[in-house]
Structure 1
Amino acid sequence: MTGITIQAMGWHLPETGMTVADLPELADMSTRERQTCTTLGIERVPVDDHADSRTLAVRAAQRVLADTGMTGIDLDALVLVEPRVPKALLTSEVTAVQAALGAGRAMSFSVGGLGCASITPALLTARGMLHADPHLSTVLIAHGSKPPTSRRYRHPVTVQGDCGFAVLLSRNGPLHLLDVVLESDGDYSDLFRVDYRDVPVDQWREECLDIGKYSLRLAVTTRDRLRSVNQRLLQRNGLRQEDIAGYLCQNISLAALRFYQESLGVAMESACADNLRHRGHLGPADALLNLQTTLDRNRWHAGDRVVLLNVSPVAAWSAVLIEITTAGADEDILL
């Protein structure tokens, strides 16, 4: 189909994992923190203690290349969703991934800054590149998601697992990337932080500097912004809410899932709750993994339109409109 499409998606989801009940940090949590952690709706998260974010990204990208019959040299561009914690300061994560893939001729750079919503600027960038330059035919987005500290519970938000994902954009694929809307607000830019200077790595702790601001003020802002990005997306594409075959969001908690549904008056696809329970939060990968899971369940048909929502407490809100362009598209998207 003419336009910018998602040709393939690839994943590296570690087979090893950890149950929330076995998280080592539970032992030194307060009663309130422990109660919040164990009522998020997350039972287990994938864990690979031997793979850093770079390795996870490379493994997922290699999966996409292998399944599409491509090699790294076939890529025109590589966009890395930057890791929350780079392997070392001053080094280039993206060119390291480029070298590992053998993508020597690919124009390569990183995007990010929006936490778990950073997949949205990556999609915007890749889509814009393909629109702007007729000489480009393939842009690969890759990311390795790991928690920023050794503690997987991120109070009071979620429990994070390990994951690598890659998305290949081209001009001929089963998912048409129709539109992207993104909003952000700097009032929340330092709400969550990890102080790391002169602090040993094993003592790094992610902190929410104002729980009330997160649970009350940001919640109200998020409700309004979710409605805003969804409304803008629909209006500028001449659509009504009933024209959307499915809504997908990220995997934070059951409370967050209910909040998204109530804010928009829609039901999220069941894949969101299922992946939340069995895989927890996987950073920027969540909404796309829920998309993949729903495609595998044969929920949609050619011509159906779906919306992917992302929220980040830094704060950012986005909505992505995708059209299923071929019957049996689930067979063409690679997991």
Structure 2
Amino acid sequence: MTLRAVVTGVGHYLPERVVPNSEFEKTLDTTDEWIRSRSGIENRHFAGEDDSTSSMAVAAAEAALADSGCTAQDVDAIIVATSTADLTFPSTATMVQAGLGMSHGFAFDVQAVCAGFVYALANANALIASGQARRVLVIGSETFSRIMDWTDRGTCVLFGDGAGALLLEGQEGQGTPADRGILATDLNSDGRHKDLLYVDGGSSTGTTGYLRMQGNQVFRHAIEKLATTAQTAMDRAGVTAADVDWIVPHQANIRIIQGTAKKMNISMDRVVVTVQDHGNTSAASIPLALSVGQQRGQIKRGDLVVTEAIGGGLAWGSVVLRW
């Protein structure tokens, strides 16, 4: 028997304010067509005055708990993937813990930018497999609209805000690819590429800073690294591209999504795409897409799902799981 980390609940939260591409035409030298053709993005959500990274994470977590039939009292640990924490410290995860009314267990953040949720899933899987926790809430939540340079048309039109959450529970499997739960993970980073995607603020500057990105260079790395990490995880899981029901990629750019699917020999009708509605929500994008994919009726129990993401660091990775 093998202990697997099985998804038992999923949920998400999106801020009320929807921002179409046309809104940027008022202040930037850009057009709806320019943004769509380069990114696939049509709309994104921006956090309101009452929204924070932690409050959105709480809302997504509550939705995942409701989907699972569990309560916060059934949860042993919380992992929040975010690059836009409410405060430098304490962790957003401890704020979520308090927001859910939990005074037991433990909570911590993971910072791997857009790859953060994949890293958080791998950590949750390890906690469950090692017996340190039975149920773990894994959340991605971001307020990237608050670290945008609104004069930089190459970045500010790409990002949005939101949160998504999964509840993972340890369940016995047979140790085969037919098991439900996380079957394999693969994590990577290369700090030599720091300058391709970063925020120019922090303790070294005493400022929050703004997001800076060399988009063409990130694109150059993305497709090869995403396809490679996905293949590595599939090999570890003992599955092939033909076995995959759904690719749920980080929703950064439709051209990256299409290019990665092509390199993996998987047709786009087996890819969950939400980038047109949400923009790039960094660590929130995969759990958001998983939740929306289930809501749409695309992802069903027993489906084989591959997630992959790349972000600042550079950091990238993938997870193979059976829903």
Scaled by the length of structure 2, the TM-score of the pair is 0.83
Q: Work out the CA distance in 2 between the residues paired with 1:175 and 1:239.
A: 13
CA 1:270–1:42 in 2, change beyond 3 Å: closer, same or farther? farther
252-261 or 87-96: bigger deviation: 87-96
| Alpha-carbon displacement from aligned partner over 1:254-286 (angstroms, at most 9, x marks no partner) | 22222222332322346644x211222222222
Q: Is the 8 A contact 1:43 1:278 kept in 2?
A: yes
Which amino acid counterpart does residue 159 of structure 2 have in structure 1? Q
1:125 corresponds in structure 2 to: 123
CA 1:190–1:35 in 2, change beyond 3 Å: closer, same or farther? farther
The yes-or-no answer on 1:317 pairing with 2:316 is yes
Q: How far off is 1:9 after superposition?
A: 1.0
| Alpha-carbon displacement from aligned partner over 1:200-253 (angstroms, at most 9, x marks no partner) | x6xx53222xx3xx414x444333322321222222233222222222212222
Which amino acid counterpart does residue 10 of structure 2 have in structure 1? M
Aligned residue pairs, count: 309
Identity across aligned pairs (percent)?
A: 22
Q: Is the 8 A contact 1:61 1:142 kept in 2?
A: yes
Q: Is the 8 A contact 1:17 1:46 kept in 2?
A: yes
Q: Is the 8 A contact 2:247 2:270 kept in 1?
A: no
1:13 corresponds in structure 2 to: 14
What SS does the corresponding residue of 1:62 show, helix, strand or coil? helix
2:263 corresponds in structure 1 to: 263
2:197 corresponds in structure 1 to: 192
Q: Work out the CA distance in 2 between the residues paired with 1:35 and 1:187.
A: 34
2:169 corresponds in structure 1 to: 170
What SS does the corresponding residue of 2:166 show, helix, strand or coil? strand
2:238 corresponds in structure 1 to: 238
Q: Work out the CA distance in 1 between the residues paired with 2:90 and 2:275.
A: 33
Q: Work out the CA distance in 2 between the residues paired with 1:232 and 1:110.
A: 26
CA 1:303–1:142 in 2, change beyond 3 Å: closer, same or farther? closer
The yes-or-no answer on 1:159 pairing with 2:162 is no
Scaled by the length of structure 1, the TM-score of the pair is 0.80
Q: Is the 8 A contact 1:56 1:143 kept in 2?
A: no
Q: Work out the CA distance in 2 between the residues paired with 1:232 and 1:91.
A: 35
Q: How far off is 1:182 after superposition?
A: 1.5
Q: How far off is 1:131 after superposition?
A: 0.8
Q: Work out the CA distance in 2 between the residues paired with 1:277 and 1:290.
A: 11
1:328 corresponds in structure 2 to: none
CA 1:107–1:156 in 2, change beyond 3 Å: closer, same or farther? closer
What SS does the corresponding residue of 2:147 show, helix, strand or coil? coil
What SS does the corresponding residue of 1:290 show, helix, strand or coil? helix
Q: Work out the CA distance in 1 between the residues paired with 2:303 and 2:166.
A: 20
What SS does the corresponding residue of 1:159 show, helix, strand or coil? coil
Q: Is the 8 A contact 2:305 2:322 kept in 1?
A: yes
Q: Work out the CA distance in 1 between the residues paired with 2:102 and 2:157.
A: 35
Q: Work out the CA distance in 2 between the residues paired with 1:299 and 1:62.
A: 22
The equivalences for 1:1-335 within 5 A come to 3-23=4-24, 26-30=25-29, 36-39=34-37, 40-50=39-49, 51-81=51-81, 83-112=82-111, 114-133=112-131, 136-147=133-144, 148-151=146-149, 155-156=154-155, 159-172=158-171, 175-196=180-201, 197=205, 204-208=209-213, 211=214, 214-216=215-217, 218-269=218-269, 272-273=272-273, 275-299=274-298, 303-324=302-323
Q: Is the 8 A contact 1:78 1:140 kept in 2?
A: yes
Q: Work out the CA distance in 2 between the residues paired with 1:301 and 1:29.
A: 42
Q: Work out the CA distance in 2 between the residues paired with 1:263 and 1:289.
A: 24
Q: How far off is 1:145 after superposition?
A: 1.3
Q: Is the 8 A contact 2:223 2:256 kept in 1?
A: no
Q: How far off is 1:317 after superposition?
A: 2.3
Q: Work out the CA distance in 2 between the residues paired with 1:198 and 1:3.
A: 43
Q: Is the 8 A contact 1:117 1:316 kept in 2?
A: yes
Q: Work out the CA distance in 2 between the residues paired with 1:19 and 1:68.
A: 33
Q: How far off is 1:36 after superposition?
A: 4.8
CA 1:271–1:297 in 2, change beyond 3 Å: closer, same or farther? farther
Q: Work out the CA distance in 2 between the residues paired with 1:231 and 1:177.
A: 15
Q: Work out the CA distance in 2 between the residues paired with 1:92 and 1:9.
A: 22
236-245 or 289-298: bigger deviation: 289-298
Q: Work out the CA distance in 2 between the residues paired with 1:304 and 1:180.
A: 17
Q: Work out the CA distance in 2 between the residues paired with 1:72 and 1:297.
A: 26
What SS does the corresponding residue of 2:83 show, helix, strand or coil? coil
What SS does the corresponding residue of 2:138 show, helix, strand or coil? strand
